[in-house]
Amino acid sequence: MTLTKLSCKQKAKIIALTGPEPLRQRLVALGVLRGFPVSVAATSLLGNPRTYFIGKQQICLRNKEAGYIEVELQL
Amino acid sequence: MLETTRSYTIALIGNPNCGKTSLFNQLTGARQRTGNMAGVTVTSREGQREWKGVDFHFVDLPGIYSLANSRVEETVARDYLSDTPPDLILNVLDANNLARNFALTTQLMEQGLPVVIALNMLDELEKQGHAVDLDELSRGLIKPVIGSDGRSNTHIPALLDLLLENIPQQIDALLISYEPHLEEAVASLEATGLERWQALRWLESAGEGVALQSDEQARISNQALKLLFSRHDESPAEMVAEGRYGYIHGLLHKSSSEHQDQSAADHWLDRITLNRWLGMPVFVMLLWLMFEATFTLGSYPADWIDTAVGWIGGEVGEWMPESLLKDLLVEGLIAGVGGVLVFLPNVVLLFFFIALLEQSGYMARAAFLMDNLMSKIGLHGKAFVPLVMGFGCNVPAIMSARTIEEPRARLITILINPFMSCSARLPVYVLLAGIFFAESAGTVLFAMYMLGILVAFSVAAILARTIPAQHDETFIMELPPWRFPSARSMFLHVWDKAGDFLHKIGGVILVGSILIWLLQSFPRQGTPWLEQLGHFVAPVFSPMGFGWQETVALLSGFIAKEVIAASLVVVYHTEMSDMAGLQAAMGENLAPASGLALMVFTLLYMPCLATIATIRRETGSWRWAGTSIMMGLVLAWFGSWLVYNIASIWM
Ligand SMILES: Nc1nc2c(ncn2[C@@H]2O[C@H](COP(=O)(O)OP(=O)(O)O)[C@@H](O)[C@H]2O)c(=O)[nH]1
Ligand SMILES: [Mg+2]
């Protein structure tokens, strides 16, 4: 599933980055990489954008970009 | 011992918001603006420091995540490194997020650049109960590593010594072994004459970060890249990053007490400020509180200044013999300059609050909250930051729009910035709100700022629908941790702003006041020139109920908006040179609806000269500067006309 489908309180792990190359490069530079744990940190009023804890940082992503991040739920 | 003075250049490089500018200020004694968010420093800054007979020349570069990306900041830093290689790089790291910060370090080391590493923010790390073994890190990297603190200067001598010891530095480029297919690609690029780091950078930027020399080189490289893409789902950037993070984890495993992939701690402040339902109301409340406090807290010291100015005026009036010079001093200089000086406390408070928003980390949260709304007008959340900075002064705010990549979004951000009511307009509001709406002055003030935002957004919405976008800009933003603002940098910031304001009072406002007084006092017989001019232009403004006095004040505001307040004081000169007198005189002459309209006109009409020059420079054409002027004038006239007519019905 993609990161947009992740609901609050769920924990997941990034399994792949898809989408256009410049976006991937940008995410990689920020340390958004395969294998990193991710969870939802905050949701704005209309549900877009949201912020996520990824690794040790809190990153704000619009749903369009978050849709390019494939994750897998962790129990 | 005879020695010619040596001089060395040292560049500060690091991720955004890791404390480079703070450290730069400590090292050079400079006072560059710092802020708790990415993108405060957009151009490089330079400063000097003499140490043990050596001249150090420090350069503060914009924060970057990687040398391979091609955003503005990265290009500035990369060009700097290749065009004017520094003698040494001071790589500043945020100790709280070592893995990501080290990713940049490995890039520098792979390139074989001379590096000294400063771990910043160790205090925060220790507060969370973690520790890093600096010696172990240093051994692992084979580079000097030192702990530093952007907020104190105790470690600065040790840091300077370390820098001195490391020029020149013994360098072996770092060798990280990557995934076999990637290594294969690197090898084939190296065979065409590229260095290993160039090959890596070219691959990780998918063919951009390095300029290739020959067609042959390009052919082979593109072939290797294509092969790599066909063999893996991951892009080369990810493969390179994975290799680097592998190396970094190995390094940190030995030296850091922290478990590597731990999640950032969530903060109670985030649970309120980023709360889905509370976030927006809290944001609006905070803004309202900011303007209310600016008015109410500011009014006490303002009264003292007012009393002092009144007293000086009275003394001078008593002791000097009747003469033209006395009139100039009392009615022109003291009244005009004093009339603006009174607002110093308000301006200082406003800058204090803006600095507070920046330094604490709330600004980035506001950007997040505003993103959805901003996306409707062709902008994204980050463009909100220059807008809030515009409340202080439009000039640096427009310059900070450089961090916005997409040309249309940047242009819109620049053009709507003058509608963000800068601190120069504050005196006019405070004056008029105090006269006409004394009961609810703070709220009126807040309403003016909101009106400015509303107009800015409407204009942006229209511009976004008329100018075509060049490409989508992705909105990816790191939220910085909450930080308690450092007293030192808050103080310096506010101090500088107060200095700027006083500087303006001593310059343009002083000259403006004298000029207004001269035009008002001559010819000695008959109608003064100023009044003639006022009457001549007044018909333009009469639909809003402005008299010739307001007309003149608005005309004088073309230079700088503080002059409007000074002019009002001078043209309404009353026997008393204090505020109470002016307020009485104006209150008599102007209907409250006109007072409101005057505020609206001041808010919207053309930007001041400095802002126009900045718009011209940042957009590269007079066309947009002209557009900005015209837009302001038209909107101001119709806006204040509308407000006057609506308010007349009500009041
Ligand atoms: N706790 C702590 N905060 C710091 C330290 N150094 C800088 N800061 C704060 O971190 C924020 C970012 O600093 P700045 O110098 O603007 O970072 P830059 O973006 O790298 O130039 C500011 O709010 C600083 O006050 C430090 O050593 N410890
Ligand atoms: Mg900086």
What pLDDT digit, counting tens, does each position of B443-452 carry? 998 999 999 9
CA distance B380 to B386: 12
Residue of B nearest to A60 (CA): B477
In a domain, B184, yes or no: no
B100 touches chain A (CB under 8 A): yes
Task: Look up residue B476 and give its DSSP letter.
Answer: E
B315, B408: one domain: yes
B524, B459: one domain: no
B464, B543: one domain: no
CB atoms within 10 A of CB B24: 27
In a domain, B243, yes or no: no
Among all chains, which residue has been given the structure tokens 């309209």?
A: B597
Q: Given a cut of 90, is residue B226 above it in pLDDT?
A: yes
| CATH number, domain containing residue B54 | 3.40.50.300
- For the segment B430-457, the average pLDDT, to the nearest whole number, is 90
Q: Given a cut of 90, is residue B515 above it in pLDDT?
A: no
Out of B100, B241, B477, name the one closest to residue A55 (CB): B100
Structure confidence at residue B260 (pLDDT)? 47
Cβ burial of B136 (10 Å; 0-12, 13-18, 19+) is middle
Which regions of chain A are under pLDDT 70?
none
pLDDT in tens, B165-223: 998 888 889 999 999 999 999 999 999 999 999 999 999 998 887 888 888 889 999 99
In a domain, B258, yes or no: no
Q: What is the C-alpha radius of gyration for chain A, rounded to an integer number of angstroms?
A: 11
Which two structure tokens, joined as six digits, stand for B643?
């407000």
Among all chains, which residue has been given the structure tokens 């944001």?
A: B283
ipTM for the predicted complex comes to 0.96
CB atoms within 10 A of CB B438: 11
* CB of B273 closer than 6 angstroms to any ligand 1 atom: no
Whether residue A24 and residue B204 make contact (CB cut-off 8 A), yes or no, is: no
* Mean pLDDT (chain B, rounded): 87
Out of A22, A41, A57, name the one closest to residue B97 (CB): A57
- Which residue did the predictor score with more confidence, B441 or B66? B66
In a domain, B257, yes or no: no
Q: Which of B422-436, B519-533, B594-608 is most confident?
A: B594-608
Closest CA to B477 of B359, B360, B369, B353: B369
Among all chains, which residue has been given the structure tokens 């006083």?
A: B502
Minimum CA distance residue for ligand 1 atom 7: B19
Structure confidence at residue B341 (pLDDT)? 85
Domain boundary among B139, B165, B191: B165
B457, B312: one domain: yes
User: Quick check: B577 and B310 in contact, CB under 8 A?
Assistant: yes
CB atoms within 10 A of CB B447: 20
- For the segment B296-310, the average pLDDT, to the nearest whole number, is 86
Q: Which domain holds residue B621?
A: 514-650
Closest ligand 1 atom to B25 CA: 15
pLDDT in tens, B308-332: 888 888 888 888 888 888 888 887 7
Structure confidence at residue B441 (pLDDT)? 86
Task: Look up residue B44 and give its DSSP letter.
Answer: -
pLDDT in tens, B555-591: 888 878 888 888 888 888 754 456 677 778 888 888 8
Out of B69, B96, B276, name the one closest to residue A44 (CB): B276
Q: Which domain holds residue A45?
A: 3-74
B428 touches chain A (CB under 8 A): no
Residue of B nearest to A50 (CA): B368
Which two structure tokens, joined as six digits, stand for B552?
């003149």
Q: Given a cut of 50, is residue B270 above it in pLDDT?
A: yes
B452, B567: one domain: no
List all residues 6 or more positions away from B154 whose beta carbon is below 8 Å from its beta carbon.
none
Structure confidence at residue B478 (pLDDT)? 92
Q: Given a cut of 80, is residue B339 above it in pLDDT?
A: no
Structure confidence at residue B4 (pLDDT)? 62
CA of B150 from ligand 1 middle (Å) equals: 6
- Show which of residues 67-86 on chain B sit within 8 Å of chain A, judged by CB atoms: 68-69
Q: What distance lies between CA B86 and its chain's CA centroid?
A: 27
Structure confidence at residue B576 (pLDDT)? 42
The number of folded domains in chain B is 3
Cβ burial of A9 (10 Å; 0-12, 13-18, 19+) is exposed
B583, B608: one domain: yes
Q: B545-574 in b/e burial notation, b at 16+ Cβ within 10 A?
A: bbbbbbbbbbbbbbbbbbbbbbbbbbbbbb
- For the segment B404-427, the average pLDDT, to the nearest whole number, is 89
Q: Given a cut of 70, is residue B464 above it in pLDDT?
A: yes
User: Quick check: B330 and B309 in contact, CB under 8 A?
Assistant: no
Task: Look up residue B330 and give its DSSP letter.
Answer: I
Which two structure tokens, joined as six digits, stand for B548?
């010739």
Q: What is the C-alpha radius of gyration for chain B, rounded to an integer number of angstroms?
A: 29
B559, B493: one domain: no
Strand partners, B48: B57
Structure confidence at residue B128 (pLDDT)? 83
B526, B399: one domain: no
List all residues 6 or more positions away from B492 whose beta carbon is below 8 Å from its beta carbon.
B31
List all residues 6 or more positions away from B214 whose beta carbon is below 8 Å from its beta carbon.
B192
B95, B140: one domain: yes
Residue of B nearest to A61 (CA): B476
Structure confidence at residue B66 (pLDDT)? 94
Whether residue B478 and residue A33 make contact (CB cut-off 8 A), yes or no, is: no
B124 touches chain A (CB under 8 A): no
CA of B147 from ligand 1 middle (Å) equals: 14
Which stretches of B471-523 are DSSP H helices? 487-504, 510-521
3-state secondary structure string across B163-176? HHHCCCCCCCCCCC
Ligand in nearest proximity to the CA of B358: 1
| Chain B residues with beta carbon closer than 8 angstroms to that of A40 | none
DSSP B517-564: HHHHH-SSSSS-HHHHHHHHHHHHHGGGT--HHHHHHHHHTTT-THHH
Structure confidence at residue A65 (pLDDT)? 94
Q: Given a cut of 50, is residue B629 above it in pLDDT?
A: yes
Which stretches of B256-323 are DSSP H helices? 268-273, 279-319
B498, B542: one domain: no
Structure confidence at residue B179 (pLDDT)? 94
B530, B632: one domain: yes
In a domain, B434, yes or no: no
Closest CA to B66 of B226, B216, B238: B238
CA distance B622 to B625: 5
B361, B391: one domain: yes
Which two structure tokens, joined as six digits, stand for B327?
């009139």
Closest ligand 1 atom to B60 CA: 21
| CATH number, domain containing residue A48 | 2.30.30.90
Structure confidence at residue B171 (pLDDT)? 87
Task: Look up residue B617 and give its DSSP letter.
Answer: H
User: Quick check: B546 and B538 in contact, CB under 8 A?
Assistant: yes
The number of folded domains in chain A is 1
CA distance B474 to A41: 20
Q: Given a cut of 80, is residue B265 above it in pLDDT?
A: no
In a domain, B351, yes or no: yes
Structure confidence at residue B258 (pLDDT)? 63
Task: Look up residue B506 and give its DSSP letter.
Answer: I
Out of A23, A33, A42, name the one closest to residue B241 (CB): A33
Structure confidence at residue B406 (pLDDT)? 81
The proportion of chain B whose per-residue pLDDT surpasses 90, expressed as a percent, equals 43
In a domain, B113, yes or no: yes
CA distance B516 to B426: 21
> Per-residue confidence at B37, pLDDT binned at 50, 70, 90?
low
Q: What distance lies between CA B517 and its chain's CA centroid?
A: 36
> Per-residue confidence at B261, pLDDT binned at 50, 70, 90?
very low
Among all chains, which residue has been given the structure tokens 């369009």?
A: A64
Which stretches of B377-437 are DSSP H helices? 384-390, 394-400, 407-416, 426-436
Rounded-to-5 percentages of helix, strand, coil across chain B: 65, 5, 30
CA distance B490 to B353: 10
Q: Given a cut of 60, is residue B145 above it in pLDDT?
A: yes
Which of B233, B274, B384 is most worth mutating to test chain A (most A CB atoms within 10 A of its CB)? B274
